[in-house]
Chain A
Amino acid sequence: MGAFTEVIDPGLVWLLVKILFLFGVAIYLVFSMTIYRQTKLMDQVLKISIKPSFKTIAIFYFFTMVLYFLLALILL
């Protein structure tokens, strides 16, 4: 990393690291949204009475990911 930052501007390297990190989180955000969509669809196919439903857990997980993404965006 040290040799790398000697050639390229360190500010640019950190910007790239941040962008990659946020990009990774964004992909996972889409993944969590997909889980939510699937649980919603499966709840229609198969009506099982469970409390809390997987749809609720999935939406909770999705919003946790959103919060994580926003915090990462603001604080990093």
Chain B
Amino acid sequence: MDAKKKLNTINPTADLHKKLEGYPKKGIFSSFIPKPKNIRFETQEELEKVLLLLRRHVITNAPWILTAIVLVIIPFFYSFFPFLDFLPARYFPFLIVGWYLLIVGFVFEKFLLWFYNIYIVTDERIIDVDFYHILYKVISDAKIDKIQDVSYEQKGIFQAFFNYGDILIQTAAEKTQFVFESIPNPDEVVTVINFLIAEEEQEVIEGRIR
């Protein structure tokens, strides 16, 4: 009875929304977007609100960006290694254009993989869109009331320096573990999910189940 009274005195919904309003407003290309505007997803219910839209930290794109930069400058060094000299001259413009088209495709694909590999936290559930490569994606979700345990881990210099890490969510849903990889401010996300769990518990006590 005491626990029920205690839960009734706190108001997780108001606290959570105040917390989310307190974050700086971010654009659609950010990795941590609280209360995103102009975003809906396919299975979103009418009253369901998107609270957080998350992606891998921008710094995780560094390897492919560096690769692209190296690929862009390679043709400038061709005169030092003229290994295609046996080809007729008319082939070269095509090869150069083809090379840069290939780089554009590579960059575009890598960018899309980052952009669409998202994690959504709504007031009702968490959604994990894993976009592994252009031909393979997995979309899974779990209701907030099915979440059993939330934790995060930060390992290595980069994760500590740029403040990002993996969030591990244990659920009693069909998919038992969700891993939100390389998420910025993982401690904040864990706090938000814990708020939502408390809110769900309060909804059950008050009989406000949707």
Contact = CB atoms under 8 A, between A and B. Distances in A.
A46 B90 contact: no
Interface string B162-203: 000000000000000000000000000000000000000000
Nearest to B93: A75
Interface in B85-126: 86-87, 90-91, 94, 97-98, 101-102, 104-105, 108-109, 112, 115-116, 118
B70 interface: no
Interface residues of B, number: 29
Contacts of B66: none
A54 B94 contact: no
Contacts of A34: 134-135
B90 A42 contact: no
A61 B97 CA distance: 13
B78 interface: no
B98 A46 contact: no
Contacts, number: 72
B129 A38 contact: no
Interface in A13-69: 17, 21, 25, 28, 31-32, 34-35, 38-39, 42, 44-50, 54, 57-58, 61, 64-65, 68
- The SS class assigned to the B binding surface is mixed
A54 B188 CA distance: 30
A61 to B, nearest CB: 6
B139 interface: yes
- The SS class assigned to the A binding surface is helix
A71 B108 CA distance: 23
Interface stretch (B10-18, B38-46, B56-64, B145-153): B38-46
- Select the residue from A32, A38, A58, A65 with max chain B CB neighbours within 10 A: A38
Nearest to B84: A1
Given A57-B108, A58-B108, A75-B90, A45 B41 contact: yes
B28 A48 contact: yes
Nearest to B131: A42
B97 to A, nearest CB: 6
B105 A45 contact: no
Interface of B: 28, 38-42, 86-87, 90-91, 94, 97-98, 101-102, 104-105, 108-109, 112, 115-116, 118, 129, 131, 134-135, 137, 139
Question: Would you list the 6 A-B pairs with minimal beta carbon distance, nearest first?
Answer: A49-B38, A1-B86, A47-B40, A42-B116, A45-B42, A46-B41
18 contacts: A25-B98, A28-B102, A28-B105, A34-B135, A35-B112, A35-B134, A45-B42, A45-B139, A46-B40, A46-B129, A54-B112, A57-B108, A58-B108, A61-B105, A65-B101, A68-B97, A72-B94, A72-B98
